Amino acid sequence: MFSMHSSLRTPPSRLLRGHIGLLYDATMVGGTALSPESQATEFYLTPFAEDYVTVRVDAILAYERAITELRLQVLHYERIIARLTARPEIKDEYTDVQPVIPLNTTSVRLINSLLQASIPTEASFRDFEEGEL
Partner 1 sequence: MALLTSSFPKHELDEVFPRPPLREVAFEIRFSPRLRVNSELWKIQEELINDYPALTAEQLLQASGTVLNVNVFQNPNSARAIKISQENFVVAFTRYTRFEDFKEEVANRVKGFCQKFDVSSLTRIGLRYVNNIVIPTSDDPSNLLRYVRPVIDFDRVPVEALEQFVSEVRIRQKNHAVTLRGALLAPLEDGRRIYVLDVDCHGGPGHTADDVLGLMDAYHETAQLFFLDHITEEYKNVMRGKA
Residues contributing to the site for partner 1 (CB under 8 A): 1-3, 5-8, 19-20, 23-24, 27-37, 39-40, 43-44, 46-50, 52, 54, 58-59, 61-63, 65-66, 69
d(CA 90, CA 92) in angstroms, rounded, equals 6
Minimum distance of partner 1 from residue 27's CB (angstroms): 5
Minimum distance of partner 1 from residue 14's CB (angstroms): 14
> Between residues 7 and 112, which has the closer beta carbon with respect to partner 1?
7
Minimum distance of partner 1 from residue 101's CB (angstroms): 58
